[in-house]
């Protein structure tokens, strides 16, 4: 039995799927003979489920390249994204699960005379989860994620964009997958350049034709920051449109709990402090909030402390919004306005209490 295990490992390391399958089958047979029926069954069902994924690696082996730059125009990945790490509003979450359900149960829909919804347009400001949601749908459906960044394509040789789009769709048609067209608005931006109107028309037509003939067993996802720029004819092709917006207070709170899971803080369990921090983060993207918290955490670790404080976070928010601290008094005022006590500021910034008290006289304390 150990021989089989070693052979399977060898096969896996050199990407020899035949070897993996053959020795795993032998292993299952031997286990069965020895009475370990349940493990044998498990190995066989894994083989059945994963055979598709193994062949997938082959059918995706030769990627399409841009004729001029010889660069790959797609990337293939098998992301693993945990649902618990993504923070979305209730309705957005529902819309995403409905989309996945509609794809998974497309046979039922087809029987009733309805097309499944397999094209999704994700729209929203940078850093609010477009790429993350595409990766999540890939990990939950088990479909490989074929990502094409359209901005890269369009900057290539004039006239070759439509050809590249064709190549991408041909490649994606080799097997069931998620074709993810990132930076989708770049196609619309071609319109800005008067000399390239002909090119724009060709690209739009090519996209429409390819979307219309795209396999209903695969999923098409496009992401854009500028939904309004999209050509209405393309826009209509997407049966589901989901907006991924900046988080509101409730989602900010959830995000803080996700990011700071297991970390020691002086504010997560203190509603008033937490309220001030949430309010100070309103208007920022998920990505900005993550960056702010990670920067604050770095500061804590580098100063050999173990507890992240409200002052650490507020200071980072202040830097993020102003990019500099020209006047330390202004920063101290900002901390006080956002609920930091004199003692907390004194400990965090090593500023004498007397100075803090002096500044405090001019501070208009607000509610979060």
Residues that bind Mg ion (CB under 5 A): 130-131
Per rule CB under 6 A, is residue 31 in the interface with ligand ATP? no
Of 41 and 298, nearer to ligand ATP (C-beta) is 298
Smallest separation, CB 124 to ligand ATP (Å): 6
Per rule CB under 6 A, is residue 188 in the interface with ligand ATP? no
Of 225 and 360, nearer to ligand ATP (C-beta) is 225
Of 293 and 345, nearer to ligand ATP (C-beta) is 293
Per rule CB under 6 A, is residue 160 in the interface with ligand ATP? no
Per rule CB under 6 A, is residue 130 in the interface with ligand ATP? yes
The binder of 30, among Mg ion, ligand ATP, none, by C-beta within 5 to 8 A per type, is none
Per rule CB under 6 A, is residue 25 in the interface with ligand ATP? no
Per rule CB under 6 A, is residue 89 in the interface with ligand ATP? no
Per rule CB under 6 A, is residue 211 in the interface with ligand ATP? no
The binder of 221, among ligand ATP, Mg ion, none, by C-beta within 5 to 8 A per type, is none
Of 92 and 206, nearer to ligand ATP (C-beta) is 92
Per rule CB under 6 A, is residue 128 in the interface with ligand ATP? yes
Question: Which residues inside 277-296 make contact with ligand ATP, applying CB under 6 A?
Answer: 286-287, 290
**Structure token pair of residue 135:** 């990766």
The binder of 132, among Mg ion, ligand ATP, none, by C-beta within 5 to 8 A per type, is ligand ATP
Q: Which of 20, 88, 220, 332 binds ligand ATP (CB under 6 A)?
A: 88
Alpha carbons within 13 A on the beta-carbon side of 304: 0
Give the CB-nearest residue to Mg ion.
131
Of 125 and 368, nearer to Mg ion (C-beta) is 125
The binder of 126, among Mg ion, ligand ATP, none, by C-beta within 5 to 8 A per type, is ligand ATP
The 3 state secondary structure assigned to the chain is: CHHHHHHHHHHHHCCCHHHHHHHHHHHHHHHHHCCCHHHHHHHHHHHHHHHHHHHHHHHCCCCCECCCCCCECCEEECCCCCHHHCCCCHHHHHHHHHHHHHHHCHHHHHHCCCCCCCEEEEECCCCCCHHHHHHHHHHHHCCCEEEEEHHHHHCCCCCCHHHHHHHHHHHHCCCCCEEEEECCCHHHHHHHCHHHHHHHHHHHHHHHHHHHCCCCCCEEEEEECCHHHCCHHHHCCCCEEEECCCCCHHHHHHHHHHHCCCCCECCCCCHHHHHHHHHHHCCCCHHHHHHHHHHHHHHHHHCCCCCECHHHHHHHHHHHHHCCCCCHHHHHHHHHHCCCCHHHHHHHHCCCHHHHHHHHCCCCCCCC
Smallest separation, CB 122 to ligand ATP (Å): 8
Smallest separation, CB 9 to ligand ATP (Å): 33
Binding site for ligand ATP (CB under 6 A): 86-88, 124, 126-132, 225, 255, 286-287, 290
């Amino acid at each position: 039995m150990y021989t089989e295990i070693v052979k399977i490992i060898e096969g896996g390391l050199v990407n020899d799927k035949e070897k993996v399958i053959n020795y795993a089958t032998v292993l299952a047979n031997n286990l069965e003979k020895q009475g370990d029926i349940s493990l044998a069954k498990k190995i066989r069902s894994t083989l059945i489920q994963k055979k598709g994924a193994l062949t997938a690696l082959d059918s995706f082996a030769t990627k399409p390249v841009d004729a001029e730059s010889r660069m790959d125009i797609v990337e293939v990945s098998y992301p693993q994204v945990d649902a618990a790490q993504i923070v979305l509003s209730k309705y957005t979450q529902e819309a995403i699960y409905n989309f996945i359900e509609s794809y998974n149960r497309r046979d039922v829909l087809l029987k009733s005379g309805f097309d499944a919804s397999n094209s999704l347009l994700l729209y929203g400001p940078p850093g609010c989860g477009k790429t993350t949601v595409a990766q999540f749908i890939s990990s939950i459906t088990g479909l490989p994620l074929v990502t094409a960044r359209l901005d890269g394509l369009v900057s290539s040789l004039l006239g070759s964009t439509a050809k590249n789009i064709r190549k991408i769709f041909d490649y994606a048609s080799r097997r069931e997958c998620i074709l993810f067209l990132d930076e989708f608005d770049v196609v619309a931006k071609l319109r800005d350049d008067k000399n390239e109107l002909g090119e724009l028309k060709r690209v739009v037509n090519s996209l429409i034709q390819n979307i219309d003939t795209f396999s209903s067993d695969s999923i098409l996802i496009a992401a854009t920051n500028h939904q309004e720029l999209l050509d209405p004819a393309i826009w209509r092709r997407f049966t589901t449109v989901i907006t991924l917006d900046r988080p509101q207070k409730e989602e900010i709170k959830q995000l803080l709990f996700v990011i700071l899971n297991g970390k020691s803080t002086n504010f997560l369990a203190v509603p008033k402090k937490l309220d001030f921090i949430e309010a100070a983060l309103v208007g920022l993207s998920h990505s900005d909030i993550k960056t702010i918290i990670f920067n604050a955490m770095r500061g804590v670790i580098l100063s050999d402390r173990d507890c992240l404080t409200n002052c650490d976070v507020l200071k980072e928010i202040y830097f993020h919004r102003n990019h500099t601290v020209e006047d330390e008094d202004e920063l101290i005022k900002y901390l006080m306005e956002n609920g930091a006590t004199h003692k907390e500021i004194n400990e965090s910034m090593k500023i004498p209490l007397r100075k803090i008290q002096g500044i405090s006289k001019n501070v208009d304390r607000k509610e979060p």
